[in-house]
């Protein structure tokens, strides 16, 4: 039997024993509970041994692998001393957070619901009963982007014999857009890409369909990762379209037929029904007409019939109205072709000028009056629009006294930038004239339309060296011409008077002249639009260079 003879010694022994037990247990528990949320270094764990992290036991070897666009699988090697494992996660620059506590022997964990396109970092902390916890290496992975979810609830609704509307439900939040596929059979479908719409769109209208035809559809979402699964198909058969050919009715000043005085005018009005998808044309300018409209005949000097035609998918309708003109006892003047000698052939002429010297077009016609009346006035217009709503050239000559017949000429210059009384390159133009006697006029007489050149013709220039060559001396010619309209030089033709050679197709030839005096040199340059211009210059050729020979002075 143990007998404690000193009571104070016994009490001190018990106190020391209890203090030792308390600190031992606290250390073990703290290492287990506090360390899971510790920092990346072992020294960061409160209650764990500080100093060199190498004093901790070897941790597991961790790897992270993408399982899908929203899941990362972790695996690690098992260690022999663990009581449990703590799985920790963070993003770049973030704080480590414990996402799972696993029992001893666990070697895998699947982290679901992660964000795609972001790098995720992981580590494993080994929970132990005594001593410092073990830390794994850090492992990371970046889940790939996800394909969008397939749309659902696709429906097709017939709107008309030529239109079906589609609607669906958007089930994704990361699509770039939706693509619509179509097929003409639902039993043996052959799906083809038809059209596409943007993100968050849930409807589409397919127009321009054929009647009594089956149309079937399916929809899928897509983004940079790829397409979603396709929706269920939906479709309809378009009904037959009703047949409604157009009608049209034209009147002159409200009448089905009208007679007016010489140089009078009338108002043409026309109406058409069943004009869906229809178009109308008239045989007076401008030819394109709206289904319902009106226009003036202008001043008429002769009778005329006006015809309008309207067409839709179901047929064509035509109607005409005649405006008769009472001619005065005095015959009106006429426009004749130049040199035609009268007779009112109505063929004014336009001739294209030399674009290399003066870019212009020349117009001419004869004034002719059956009664021999003098011409007191004429008007001349050129416009790039056939309705002459705003003529580029609008000339009016009055107080004339030209006998019949008289040839009239007009010149219109072609310029690069629009200017008053000028026409520009690369344009189709229309023109007309009207001549006047003392009391009557010819009405507008239209000449043939014409087009200007696409751009300026080449500007020819060249130089030579030496500038005053001698006979039989090599002369270097250099082309310095300019071409326009974005073209390039494509051909050269040199002609040398008394030259050797006498001609060349080189751009920069070398030539000798075999005769003294002034010799003509002509260069023609062609651009890649086949526009060619020539230009001559004169080269003054001097006496031959003296021939020197060394001789001995004795």
pLDDT at 261 over 90: no
How is residue 202 written in tokens?
């849930």
CATH of domain 152-237: 2.60.40.10
The percentage of residues in the chain with a pLDDT greater than 90, rounded to a whole number, is 65
pLDDT at 30 over 50: no
pLDDT at 417 over 90: yes
Residue-range domain boundaries for the chain: 32-37+58-141, 152-237, 247-326, 334-451, 462-541
pLDDT at 468 over 50: yes
Least confident of 60-64, 88-92, 232-236, 272-276: 272-276
* 522 Cβ contact list (under 8 Å, min separation 6): 494, 495, 534, 535, 536, 537
Classify residue 207 as exposed, middle or buried by CB count within 10 Å of its CB (0-12, 13-18, 19+): exposed
pLDDT in tens, 194-231: 999 999 999 999 999 998 999 999 999 999 888 989 99
55-69, 189-203, 243-257, 313-327 — which one is most confidently predicted on average? 189-203
The overall average pLDDT reported for the chain is: 86
pLDDT in tens, 124-163: 999 887 777 889 999 999 988 788 899 999 999 999 889 9
- The per-residue pLDDT for 182 is 95
Q: How far is CA 116 from the centre of its chain?
A: 35
What CATH fold (topology level) applies to the domain 462-541?
A: Immunoglobulin-like (2.60.40)
pLDDT at 447 over 70: yes
Q: How far is CA 490 from the centre of its chain?
A: 31
pLDDT at 393 over 90: yes
Kindly report the CATH class assigned to 334-451: mainly beta
Distance of alpha carbon 367 from alpha carbon 344, whole angstroms: 9
pLDDT at 509 over 60: yes
pLDDT in tens, 55-83: 556 789 999 999 888 899 999 998 887 88
pLDDT at 416 over 80: yes
Distance of alpha carbon 534 from alpha carbon 355, whole angstroms: 11
Contact 321, 252 (CB under 8 A): yes
pLDDT at 435 over 50: yes
- The per-residue pLDDT for 276 is 64
Least confident of 122-126, 274-278, 424-428: 274-278
What CATH fold (topology level) applies to the domain 32-37+58-141?
A: Immunoglobulin-like (2.60.40)
Give CA torsion, residues 501, 506, 511, 515, to 10 deg: 50
What phi and psi, each to the nearest 5 degrees, are found at residue 97?
-130, 135
Beta strands in 162-222 (DSSP E): 163-169, 177-183, 192-198, 203-207, 214-222
| pLDDT-based confidence at residue 170 (cuts at 50, 70, 90) | very high
| pLDDT-based confidence at residue 329 (cuts at 50, 70, 90) | low
| pLDDT-based confidence at residue 38 (cuts at 50, 70, 90) | very low
247-326 to CATH, choices 2.60.40.10, 1.10.10.10, 3.40.50.1100, 3.40.50.1000: 2.60.40.10
Contact 230, 192 (CB under 8 A): no
pLDDT at 302 over 80: yes
How are strands ordered across the β-sheet holding 510-513? 462-465, 475-479, 510-513, 499-500
The percentage of residues in the chain with a pLDDT greater than 70, rounded to a whole number, is 86
pLDDT in tens, 176-204: 999 999 999 988 899 999 999 999 999 99
Least confident of 352-361, 364-373, 519-528: 364-373
Q: Do the domains spanning 32-37+58-141 and 152-237 agree at the CATH topology level?
A: yes
Is pLDDT larger for residue 549 or for residue 146?
146
């Amino acid at each position: 039997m143990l007998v404690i003879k000193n009571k104070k010694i016994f009490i001190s022994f018990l106190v020391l024993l209890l203090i030792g037990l308390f600190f031992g247990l606290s250390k073990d528990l703290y290492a287990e509970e506090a360390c899971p949320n510790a920092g990346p270094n072992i020294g960061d764990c409160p209650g764990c041994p500080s100093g060199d992290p190498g004093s901790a036991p070897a941790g597991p070897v961790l790897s992270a692998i993408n399982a899908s666009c929203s899941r990362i699988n972790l695996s690690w090697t098992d260690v022999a001393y663990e009581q449990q494992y703590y799985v920790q996660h963070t993003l770049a620059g973030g704080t480590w957070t414990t996402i799972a506590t696993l029992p001893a022997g666990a070697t895998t964990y699947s982290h679901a619901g992660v964000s795609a396109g972001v790098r995720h970092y992981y580590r494993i902390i080994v929970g132990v009963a005594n001593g410092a916890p073990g830390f794994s290496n850090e492992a990371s992975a970046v889940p790939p982007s996800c394909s969008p979810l397939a749309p659902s609830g696709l429906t097709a609704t017939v709107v008309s014999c030529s239109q079906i509307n589609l609607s669906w439900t958007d089930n994704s939040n990361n699509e770039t857009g939706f693509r619509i596929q179509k097929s003409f059979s639902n039993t043996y479908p052959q799906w083809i890409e038809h059209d596409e719409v943007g993100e968050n769109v849930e409807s589409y209208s397919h127009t321009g369909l054929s009647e009594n035809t089956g149309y079937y559809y399916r929809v899928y979402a897509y983004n940079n990762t790829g397409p979603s699964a396709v929706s269920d198909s939906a479709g309809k058969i378009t009904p037959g379209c009703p047949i409604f050919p157009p009608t049209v009715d034209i009147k002159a000043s409200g009448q089905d037929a009208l007679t007016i005085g010489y140089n009078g005018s009338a108002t043409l009005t026309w109406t058409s029904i069943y004009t869906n998808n229809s178009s109308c044309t008239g045989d007076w300018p401008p030819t394109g007409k709206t289904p319902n409209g009106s226009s003036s005949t202008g001043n008429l000097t002769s009778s005329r019939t006006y015809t309008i035609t309207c067409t839709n998918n179901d047929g064509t309708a035509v109607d005409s109205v005649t405006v008769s003109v009472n001619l005065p006892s005095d015959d009106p003047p006429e426009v004749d072709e130049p040199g035609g000698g009268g007779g009112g052939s109505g063929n004014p002429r336009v001739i294209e000028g030399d674009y290399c010297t003066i870019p212009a077009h020349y117009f001419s016609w004869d004034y002719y009056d059956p009664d021999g009346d003098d011409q007191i006035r004429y008007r001349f217009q050129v416009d790039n629009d056939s309705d002459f709503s705003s003529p580029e050239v609008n000339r009016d000559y009055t107080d004339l006294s030209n006998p019949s017949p008289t040839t009239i000429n007009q010149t219109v210059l072609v310029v690069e930038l629009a200017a008053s009384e000028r026409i520009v390159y690369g344009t189709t133009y229309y023109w007309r004239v009207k001549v006047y006697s003392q009391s009557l006029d010819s009405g507008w007489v239209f000449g043939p339309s014409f087009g200007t050149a696409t751009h300026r013709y080449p500007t020819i220039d060249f130089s030579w060296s030496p500038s005053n060559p001698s006979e039989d001396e090599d002369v270097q010619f250099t082309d310095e011409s300019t071409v326009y309209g974005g073209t390039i030089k494509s051909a050269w033709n040199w002609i040398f008077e008394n030259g050797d050679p006498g001609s060349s197709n080189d751009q920069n030839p070398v030539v000798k002249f075999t005769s003294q005096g002034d010799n003509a040199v002509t260069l023609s340059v062609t651009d890649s639009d086949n526009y060619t211009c020539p230009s001559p210059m004169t080269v003054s050729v001097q006496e031959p260079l003296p021939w020197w020979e060394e001789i001995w002075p004795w």
